Amino acid sequence: MTDQPDIRRNILRERIAQGQAIVNAWLSIPSSYSAEGLGHAGVHAATIDLQHGMIGLTDALHMLQAISATPAMPLVRVPSLDAALLMRVLDAGAYGVICPMISSAEQAAELVHACRYPPTGSRSFGPARGLLYGGADYVAHANAEILVIPMIETVEAVRNIDAILAVEGVDMIYIGPNDMAFAFDGAVGAERQKSEAAIAHVLARAQAAGIPAGIFCADGTDAARRVAQGFALVTPGNDFGLLTRALRSAVAETLRESGGGAAVAATGTGY
């Protein structure tokens, strides 16, 4: 009988293998309390956003610890392709990293190399909290469990998509539709014909290569549409947007039912 490795298995890999959709929470608020709550909300993953979220490394550590108490797998979006930072978030217990603005096979290979232990990568030894979360066999099996996810969001990335997908160790790609809209349509707005065509092209190439694709979505309805389109992982908005939309809806309902007048117009959502 073969001994099973003593490492926490990545349920996202299991869902991918089974063809099951992954619903991902997106955390931009530096709060372990809200991270823990969202991790219990039925999602399969929870991504801490260090790029556009209001979150520092100390907050991220506390949030990773909070997510550990939930069924969700902890992911981190780093702000850039920075090997030292990638190692720090992995050592802190992230079970996957999303890296923005990967536009070439060389950058994708650099990302993979920074996230893998030797001999396939250059991640240095120092698993710290990764060992606590992952288990005693973490170092021996981390390369097989950690997800490495480059973001595709530039014209160059779309042009190089086949080469990026061919990089060994790329486990998934993640599309940033708003930056794609900037790149292809010139603005983030309702008219996204060129960027939607680019997104469909990237998805088709990923499917042909057998690489799952994820995407950020406006809300649950948009997320369901993207799953039907063929995306393996969907993010139905971020925590701040969901919070403010829910409160605006509650305010409008309260004023409507109480005859208290019209709700004050929203001034922004913070994305």
Catalytic center residues:
52
Pairwise CA distance, residues 14 & 220, whole Å? 23
Q: Are 151 and 100 in contact (CB under 8 A)?
A: yes
Residue pair 117/109 in contact by the 8 Å Cβ criterion: no
- Buried (b) or exposed (e) across 245-268, using 16+ Cβ within 10 A? eeeeeeeeeeeeeeeeeeeeeeee
How distant is the alpha carbon of residue 167 from its chain centre?
Answer: 19
For 97, phi then psi, to 5°, come to -130, 140
- Going by C-alpha positions, the residue among 174, 179, 160 that lies closest to residue 104 is 160
Q: Is 203 helix (H, G, I), strand (E, B) or coil?
A: helix
The angle subtended at Cα 266 by Cα 260 and Cα 269, nearest 5°, is: 140
Residues pairing with 48 in the sheet: 27, 76
Strand stretches in 38-171, DSSP E: 45-49, 73-77, 96-99, 147-152
Sort 166 into a burial class: Cβ within 10 Å, 0-12 / 13-18 / 19+: middle
Distance CA 193, CA 42 (A): 33
For 57, phi then psi, to 5°, come to -65, -40
Q: Which of 182, 177, 189 is nearest to 214 (CA)?
A: 177
